[in-house]
């Protein structure tokens, strides 16, 4: 079976963007792919997180993986820091990556600006290095496919470049990964600023639908979502002219599994306010179900830790194989 790797960093409360961009695809993939679903805790150290928060957030994230239908008997669920090979390969890949190519990463540039301007803090080297750790995550498992949101496409391209570089130096060590990015829903935007990506770290919570939001705040956030002042108030997809409405259409389409053009036809004559009511009804119904399942898993911490432990054992075996291979190609002596 082809290998599929996907991860989320437990750097904050998960959002509907995280769900629509990646997690909603995961359970469907389990029968046709060998799936590894990772909680990227080391990545989340690149931004300041409270330690008590991080511990809780890691378990929250595993609970959401399960609530989204990931079956630990079919897929490997694990915590990144439990598989030390990620950090080891990270160092090796650092030595084959260029400062200039990392400096071009748009996510780094955006996050650097946000941290410096909003928090007046200095950024750490880990944030700069983030894409190389991500490349290690992916390459360690000889991954064929990586379901990601559009914001991560550039990082997967960088991963391919690094893999190509090592393959041409040392023979075929790494499989070249292909990003899986849906046409719609791969970049859910902020509700009040629909030209900006919805992010868990947004300082304005009104921009974000969190997976654990209560229904009254979902209704109020959608109601206040930015639209436009086009006179006809027609509902159709146009990212330039109607970014807010297009964003709500993408969310609606992901939740109903209906294509955007079909929805636009169905919504002919519907006012913006009515459309928002319909979207928040669907969102509320979906979130209530997801949250119910989430809480069922979340209250059983020993089960969550057991899954993570067993997942890490399986992941370590695969990771060790790749690491041994690259170590020997580099001339490092194996530890006997």
Q: Which residues bind ligand AQP (CB under 6 A)?
A: 8-9, 11-12, 15, 17-18, 20-22, 40, 148-149, 151-152, 186-188, 197-201
Please identify, using beta-carbon distances, which residue of 182 and 322 lies nearer to ligand AQP: 182
Token representation of residue 132? 């190389």
The whole-angstrom separation of Cα 92 and Cα 135 is 11
Token representation of residue 21? 């961009």
Please identify, using beta-carbon distances, which residue of 115 and 319 lies nearer to ligand AQP: 115
Q: CB of 60: closest distance to ligand AQP in angstroms?
A: 12
The whole-angstrom separation of Cα 163 and Cα 24 is 28
Longest Cα–Cα distance of the chain, Å, equals 74
Nearest to 53 by CA among 41, 38, 65, 43: 41
Catalytic residue among 13, 28, 109, 111: 111
Strand order in the sheet with 178-180: 76-79, 34-39, 3-8, 145-147, 178-180
The whole-angstrom separation of Cα 217 and Cα 227 is 18
Q: Is 321 a catalytic residue?
A: no
The whole-angstrom separation of Cα 22 and Cα 8 is 9
Q: CB of 239: closest distance to ligand AQP in angstroms?
A: 14
Please identify, using beta-carbon distances, which residue of 93 and 189 lies nearer to ligand AQP: 189
Q: CB of 25: closest distance to ligand AQP in angstroms?
A: 10
Please identify, using beta-carbon distances, which residue of 200 and 276 lies nearer to ligand AQP: 200
Catalytic residue among 13, 187, 197, 276: 197
Q: Is 74 a catalytic residue?
A: no
Would you give the DSSP letter of residue 81?
Answer: G
Chain residue at closest Cβ approach to ligand AQP: 21
CB burial readout 163-179, b (16+ within 10 A) else e: beebeeeeeebbbbbeb
- Whether 10 has a binding-site annotation, put simply, is yes
Q: Is 200 a catalytic residue?
A: yes
- Whether 17 has a binding-site annotation, put simply, is yes
- Whether 188 has a binding-site annotation, put simply, is yes
**Known binding site for ATP: residues?**
9-11, 17-18, 149-151, 188, 197-201
**Known binding site: residues?**
9-11, 17-18, 137, 149-151, 188, 197-201
**Known binding site for L-tryptophan: residues?**
137
What are the residue numbers of the active site?
Answer: 111, 197, 200
């Amino acid at each position: 079976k082809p290998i599929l790797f996907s991860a989320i960093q437990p750097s904050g409360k998960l959002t509907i963007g995280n769900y629509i961009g990646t997690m909603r695809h995961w359970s469907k993939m389990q029968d046709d792919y060998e799936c590894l679903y990772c909680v990227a805790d080391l990545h989340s150290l690149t931004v300041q997180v409270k330690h008590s928060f991080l511990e809780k957030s890691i378990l929250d994230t595993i609970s959401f993986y399960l609530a989204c239908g990931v079956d630990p008997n079919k897929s490997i669920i694990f915590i990144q820091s439990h598989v030390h090979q990620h950090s080891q390969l990270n160092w090796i890949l650092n030595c084959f990556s260029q400062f200039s190519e990392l400096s071009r990463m748009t996510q780094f540039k955006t996050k650097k600006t946000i941290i410096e301007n909003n928090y007046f803090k200095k950024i750490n080297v880990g944030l700069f290095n983030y894409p190389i750790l991500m490349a290690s995550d992916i390459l360690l498992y000889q991954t064929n496919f990586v379901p990601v949101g559009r914001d991560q496409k550039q990082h997967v391209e960088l991963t391919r470049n690094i893999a190509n570089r090592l393959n041409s130096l040392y023979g075929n060590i790494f499989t070249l990964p292909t990003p899986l990015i849906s046409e719609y829903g791969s970049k859910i935007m902020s509700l009040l600023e629909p030209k900006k990506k919805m992010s868990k770290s947004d300082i304005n919570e009104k921009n974000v639908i969190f997976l654990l939001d209560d229904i009254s705040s979902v209704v109020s956030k959608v109601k206040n979502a930015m639209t436009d002042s086009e006179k006809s108030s027609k509902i159709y997809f146009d990212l330039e002219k109607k970014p807010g409405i297009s964003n709500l259409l993408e969310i609606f389409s992901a939740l109903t599994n209906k294509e955007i053009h079909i929805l636009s036809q169905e919504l002919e004559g519907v006012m913006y306010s009515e459309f928002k009511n319909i979207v928040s009804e669907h969102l509320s119904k979906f979130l209530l179900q997801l949250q119910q399942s989430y809480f069922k898993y979340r209250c059983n911490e020993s089960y969550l830790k057991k899954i993570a432990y067993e997942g890490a054992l399986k992941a370590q075996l695969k990771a060790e194989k790749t690491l041994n291979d690259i170590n020997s190609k580099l001339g490092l002596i194996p530890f006997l």
